[in-house]
Structure 1
């Protein structure tokens, strides 16, 4: 190499080495480190940061049934604390190896720290590298998104304190305010943002996107303080410009939701309509704005226009991801227009939508349940409310709406249980009452019916097989596994044939004489055996006739269980659902079929009350006379005789309570017969007391300790029937159910 070339190479290398120094304040040094920081280290850090930001935004799921978060981030409360990287930490080979599996935000933090450590030119207290403030800002933002707010605050404060004239100073102050909001220092955030906005208002040259960011942060701060009007004011300011289209659309949506919460429906509709028609807004916000517009539309002529708009959106194939919400809202509008059949159809379509979520389903099931409940179809309503309980997640399990549905469904669950008991026992008792010939005739007709149904199902399968074979492809025409028209290429026909073979022959090995399960017998015997195995028990009379009860005790228990269910149904319809017609239906029927006179008094009193409320005075007087003539000394008779006068108790409540405690201690000392005698002697002296059911239950429990099971059950049944609406009556019923299981 020539001497001149060597000199040039040496000069270049010397210049590079000279410019690498961070201690010399020269143009070459400043330019080299600024360019290297910006286009090497910080570029990679920014790319990692953007990747992490996209991941956290994709992870966040908006619940459009509630007010959206202004900043769309789902922070993990169980976050694992990660190592805090600070300027000055080493970057040796060991640390590089450990950092290979860092998250995007941790990689961004690593690059920011590396930029500060290797390229900072702090000379005489002044930073000469113009990119270091960017590195500190990146460092703070990366820590913010990994929920390490105190270290993030330190990074932002460092920029503000040491780089007061930096071009990112305003943005850094906004990030510091947002960090304070996350640390529940919203008052400090409001103060700093207010000062910043005052400065921004005086500075005309400042980027308006910074103002938009500041207004959004101010709305976040006031939302934490529940100052709703201030939130509204700053969201309105934030939505005047559209520098960040995603955030602007979110701000508009939240603004509309707040207007709706404040019952300012006109303002809400105006905001949502503007958002729905905005071409700059993301598609999901425009569709959701249309749905919210429908929610805030009254049931008048305007709802027809909105409903037509929803139907148009439903037809658009681009909106398939939103069909669950669109169908649901269309159902709400149809229900508001007194079109329940169409509304129910839309709710069911909402549930069947391909793209769905469980929280959306709870609303559709609730609406269907409410509609069934309004039609007094309580069993159907209960099944829909059950569905709500099945799909709701733990996150929303204690929501006020869900708790209300759970309470409502609890009564319906009990109702369904008693309705099913009445239906089942009535069916059995109806069969018991039939003559042998009537039973035979009944089940022969039933067997013919199920044979016909089975044959129709079999024919449908054969038709499907033939239909598939005609296309040469079975169940799936385009399936490559179903080539040709041959039987064994048709997977549907093959599956049907396999099932039919196993139904007749069972599982047989591939061998000679495979028809013979036992090779020592002849073919004729084998065929006869197989003919026997082919008989379906569902088609045999004995299958049904043999299970009809004949034991008198079993039949009596069925009658008793049915009558108890009728009584409980009457009380539930009367007290809980306020349905007089169904209460009367069950109690009147019980009055006709009962075999126990013990039930006459409570039945008569409840029917007297219902008919009196219904202004059916003739029927009310009928049952009132039964009570007054047959049971004149009872508490029910006293209430009827003196409806407006409070009954005078012969003993004070505290004295009665003391007497109860005295008898209870006798019971606890295993003096059961003495406890029963004391209750029998004391109860007749009580005319009206809330403690009477307690004495009755205590007596029943004492009887159970020294008498037989049947006597014990009779005592409990008296408590369960006479005081059915009290805790003692319910407790007695639970004990009876436990005894019946044993």
Structure 2
């Protein structure tokens, strides 16, 4: 028996070239070691595919995997690429990734079952082991050791069936280490030259080869060549996953070049590719809606998008489908339908943050175009709140837009707030009281409705929960949680009231002339419903009311300039300045107001109105620079006002600032800077003006003035200084 075992072991030796030995090691390698290694490798690929999330808003990478930057492992190897393995502890083995496990099995196959006798390998499975070894190292981001394994196969098994596949993997590894030129030359030898000579490569290998070539050309920024090989790689579509991906990327490339017809053709081909994974087909439909070039297709595409939206299987993609439907409606000038679809996109469950940034931006742009700047600002702010990529060029552009709107929004708020206070302050006392009584009643009604809605929601939720648990749903007064909530809400609104007639009254007569105060008033007073608390906030001093008017007038003037110069919205600029002209502005503002209105009506082509303001300037202010410009329109204003003169004016205003004449500084700066609109010293004036505002107004007004300097002159020293001060204020 022992003799038989010895003979069997000797016959299966890796050093003996016998039929028994070759077959034993080949079968053991294939069905035992390599089988387990391939299973581990497949598991690793599955994890990569599951964990990788495509960014459908950018051009997809040809290979769906993310490698860490600057993590290329350099190792020293013996002539045997499997060297350096073995002897791992049990703890280390537990920590192996699937690709490391596959590599371990490949090394085991090479070391234990390799039959390299006199320089010739007699185990027909060893070349497969080396290929598995190289591929495992590739996915472990160990590209140079992987190339070693591939080179070993190519050098020692030149006639192997897998030699072409090995060369393709070697080319991909070379591309990953920035040797794309080497990869391109190797793939040309394999595909282009061999294709013209023998044309015996299987379609699957040709697809892989052209895909690898496209990867190398993308890495070398040769997109035309990349497109050419993606086209060749998608002729047969044997590999459904990579084939669908190649088609999608090819369509994206055409779309980036604005070749809409070519892009449309490629995406339509992908939609009709029955074996393509669904994620590519659904996004191809979305891309079709982006790349149609004929208006006649718009209706057809809208019908297709509506059909996709109704399909319950597409719920994970609703945010994208609604968004693109909105874009189609917007292109057709159906703005109401566009708005509805954009809002549906935002409400879609599991919508991606990146899609939300695009949707918020579209809504912001629509409102901006319609001069609804406050709404636009809110949507741009939502983009910035949702986005995580602060370095993205698009996000930075939106941030600039939002900052440009910041001053405008705050000045509009000053106008609205001060208008409201001044209007109420000028009412007779009885009318003030009636105004706030009406306001309080509306407030109470809104609070009651909100509380009742929340109670109803809780009751409904409790009923549903009861039905789901197989129990009978109950009235909410029998639910301790609902009752407790309702009691808290009642006390919050009405206080601690007795259960009696007319319990809503704040004061009640009881016996004779004796007045009993309501217990809610005795214990607590809800200031939201307290009339006196509102009446006491109304300013009654003339100085305070005048100050509110001055601030409002200044804000109206700033708004007129912002709308005119920054947003080029002449109509809104006109309305703000014309209203300011009716509000008895300070003398220093009258000339600039007339000058800006003269320019605005001139820009709008209204010669009659323009002439009115022109005559005001020429008759009432004949010796000013404005009058000289009107009379001599061909003379450039800056030529008449030298740099030295501007500096002298700045010094005058600076001395006024030092003397504590802050309001005068603000008014004089406003009147002067319009005469030198292109002067390099404008930021200095604006910063000095902000300092002056900070001296006689509150911190919020100071911050608004600083933000105006920071936003409009951000690249100057003055703009940077303003930003620094804002940061200090906010700490």
Structure 2 Cα separation of the partners of residues 622 and 367 of structure 1: 40
1:39 deviates by 2.0
Where do 1:3-402 residues align within 5 Å?
A: 7=1, 10-77=2-69, 79=71, 87-89=82-84, 91-92=86-87, 95-197=89-191, 198-200=193-195, 202-298=197-293, 300-394=295-389, 397-402=390-395
Deviation readout 1:322-368 (Å, 9 max, x if unpaired) = 11111111111111122110011011111111131121112211211
Where do 1:564-603 residues align within 5 Å?
A: 564-603=554-593
Query: Judging changes above 3 Å, is the alpha-carbon distance between structure 1 residues 489 and 202 closer, same or farther for their aligned structure 2 residues?
Result: farther
**Unpaired segments ≥5 residues, structure 1:** 1-6, 508-525, 650-686
1:383 deviates by 1.3
Query: Judging changes above 3 Å, is the alpha-carbon distance between structure 1 residues 697 and 55 closer, same or farther for their aligned structure 2 residues?
Result: farther
- The aligned length equals 670
1:700 aligns with 2:694: no
1:697 deviates by 3.7
Q: Does the CA-based 8 Å contact 2:589-2:670 persist in structure 1?
A: no
Query: Judging changes above 3 Å, is the alpha-carbon distance between structure 1 residues 422 and 21 closer, same or farther for their aligned structure 2 residues?
Result: same
Moved more, 197-206 or 329-338: 197-206
TM-score (norm 2): 0.85
Deviation readout 1:5-47 (Å, 9 max, x if unpaired) = xx3xx34422442145322222222222222222222222212
Structure 2 Cα separation of the partners of residues 591 and 481 of structure 1: 72
Match of 1:632 in 2: 622
Q: Does the CA-based 8 Å contact 2:662-2:693 persist in structure 1?
A: no
Structure 2 Cα separation of the partners of residues 52 and 84 of structure 1: 25
Query: Judging changes above 3 Å, is the alpha-carbon distance between structure 1 residues 76 and 257 closer, same or farther for their aligned structure 2 residues?
Result: same
Structure 1 Cα separation of the partners of residues 25 and 89 of structure 2: 24
1:496 deviates by 2.9
Match of 1:718 in 2: 668
Structure 2 counterpart SS, 1:474:
helix
1:239 deviates by 1.0
Structure 1 Cα separation of the partners of residues 379 and 420 of structure 2: 26
1:392 deviates by 1.9
Structure 2 Cα separation of the partners of residues 241 and 209 of structure 1: 8
Q: Does the CA-based 8 Å contact 1:474-1:493 persist in structure 2?
A: no
Match of 1:496 in 2: 485
Structure 2 Cα separation of the partners of residues 324 and 176 of structure 1: 41
Structure 1 Cα separation of the partners of residues 170 and 72 of structure 2: 23
Structure 1 Cα separation of the partners of residues 74 and 518 of structure 2: 77
Match of 2:510 in 1: none
Measured on the aligned residues, the alpha-carbon RMSD in Å equals 2.9
1:209 deviates by 0.7
Moved more, 267-276 or 450-459: 450-459
Structure 1 Cα separation of the partners of residues 177 and 604 of structure 2: 62
Match of 2:410 in 1: 417
Deviation readout 1:623-681 (Å, 9 max, x if unpaired) = 222222333332222211211134695xxxxxxxxxxxxxxxxxxxxxxxxxxxxxxxx
TM-score (norm 1): 0.84
Structure 1 Cα separation of the partners of residues 476 and 559 of structure 2: 58
Moved more, 226-235 or 411-420: 226-235
Q: Does the CA-based 8 Å contact 2:103-2:133 persist in structure 1?
A: yes
1:544 deviates by 0.5
Query: Judging changes above 3 Å, is the alpha-carbon distance between structure 1 residues 84 and 367 closer, same or farther for their aligned structure 2 residues?
Result: farther
1:498 deviates by 5.0
Structure 2 counterpart SS, 1:129:
coil
Deviation readout 1:400-451 (Å, 9 max, x if unpaired) = 4333323322222221111111101111111121121221121112122222
Moved more, 158-167 or 197-206: 197-206
1:738 aligns with 2:694: yes
Structure 1 Cα separation of the partners of residues 459 and 256 of structure 2: 59
Q: Does the CA-based 8 Å contact 2:444-2:493 persist in structure 1?
A: no
Structure 2 Cα separation of the partners of residues 531 and 83 of structure 1: 82
Structure 1 counterpart SS, 2:226:
helix
1:737 deviates by 4.4
Structure 1 Cα separation of the partners of residues 106 and 517 of structure 2: 85
1:195 deviates by 0.6
Query: Judging changes above 3 Å, is the alpha-carbon distance between structure 1 residues 78 and 489 closer, same or farther for their aligned structure 2 residues?
Result: farther
